[in-house]
Amino acid sequence: MAWQEPCVAALARVERTDFLSPVCIGEVANVSAEITYTSRHSVEVQVNVMSENILTGAKKVTNKATLWYVPLSLKNVNKVVEVPPIQYARKEQEDEGKKRYEEQKLDRLETKQRNGDVILPVINPDRQTKEPHTVGYSQSSLIHLVGPSDCTLLGFVHGGVTMKLMDEVAGIVAARHCKTNIVTASVDAINFHEKIKKGCVITVSGRMTFTSNKSMEIEVFVDADPFVDEPRERYRAVSAFFTYVSLSKEGKPLPVPQLLTETEDEKRRFEEGKGRYLQTKAKRQAQMQQQAAQQ
């Protein structure tokens, strides 16, 4: 890529990602990436992760992810640089990319509004006073001071650092709810609404929103407190939904205890979660039918 001016790519969004199979210790992870669409100010990158057992040579697709980046000027990190267009092999590819671009733009907008609406304090409660399987019983949060080694060259938090902390909190929520081994099944689109600067204290909070028979949906927020050098309020920086499944010691999926909703908000969020669950299920079935038809 030849940019007009020196820039860095800031992660703006990770599309819904399914974790198809785990990478085991000693395996080699092969990561490949390509640019699949460019808008005037953003770049879509498709990443494929394959795990390879070197001894047997066996390979498995671990996960595929789609990431959106925004190029920022190295001289002025608040300036978004223009992206030089890429060449598409077929006109179709450009059209499909544009469709994906418009969809994610809409979704980002919607999430931003939802973030404005609902800002709930999620503090580690005294779990002793809460009934098991309620939302309050499993909700969890952690705080983290953003240090130099969490940051990119420009002094902003690496997207990967935030995502790891989000997965950690979501995993604790899931394990507290079902008291078994749990594993991340998928991550819904993650939107990075705002950059987080070195020196911020971030609060990562998770609460369960929905359970199906075999899965749990957990909403995770990242809030940043730029308390050190800016006279600025705490702000919502990232938000996402994680889906976990419960596993037996042998690695078999287990039934998940149903989430007990108490307040009106909890009931509403449960219904919204159910909507996302049914939508994803329908989409997956449509894909499977399409694939079956193509074979």
Q: Return residues touching a second copy (CB under 8 A).
A: 6, 8, 28, 30, 32, 54-57, 74, 124, 127, 147-149, 151-153, 172, 175-176, 179-180, 198-199, 228-229
Q: Minimum distance from CB of 84 to a second copy (Å)?
A: 15
Q: Which CB sits closer to a second copy, 91 or 252? A: 252
Q: Minimum distance from CB of 33 to a second copy (Å)?
A: 10
Q: Minimum distance from CB of 100 to a second copy (Å)?
A: 26
Q: Minimum distance from CB of 44 to a second copy (Å)?
A: 20
Q: Which CB sits closer to a second copy, 117 or 126? A: 126
Q: Minimum distance from CB of 149 to a second copy (Å)?
A: 4
Provide the residue type at 40 as one letter: R
The neighbouring-strand residues paired with 67 are 14, 45
Q: Which CB sits closer to a second copy, 160 or 275? A: 160
Q: Minimum distance from CB of 66 to a second copy (Å)?
A: 20
The neighbouring-strand residues paired with 182 are 246
**Range 27-31, long-range pairs (CB < 8 A, 24+ positions):** 27/51, 27/52, 27/53, 27/54, 28/52, 28/54, 29/62, 30/59
35, 103 Cβ separation under 8 angstroms = no
Q: Which CB sits closer to a second copy, 118 or 175? A: 175
215, 274 Cβ separation under 8 angstroms = no
Phi then psi for 132, rounded to 5 degrees? Answer: -55, 145
Q: Beta strand pairing status for 190-192 and 181-187?
A: unpaired
Distance from C-alpha of 184 to C-alpha of 199, rounded to nearest angstrom: 30
Q: Minimum distance from CB of 8 to a second copy (Å)?
A: 7
Q: In which residue are the tokens 């001016």 written?
A: 5
Provide the residue type at 241 as one letter: F
E strand or H helix at 266, and its extent? helix 264-294
Q: In which residue are the tokens 């990431």 written?
A: 67
Q: Minimum distance from CB of 267 to a second copy (Å)?
A: 26
Q: What angle do CA 125, 127, 130 make, to 5 degrees?
A: 100
Q: Which CB sits closer to a second copy, 32 or 295? A: 32
Q: Beta strand pairing status for 43-52 and 59-73?
A: antiparallel
Q: Which CB sits closer to a second copy, 174 or 189? A: 174
Q: Which CB sits closer to a second copy, 35 or 118? A: 35
Tokens standing for residue 69? 């980046």
Q: Dihedral through CA 11, CA 15, CA 19, CA 22, nearest 10?
A: -20
Q: Which CB sits closer to a second copy, 189 or 256? A: 256
Q: In which residue are the tokens 């909070």 written?
A: 205
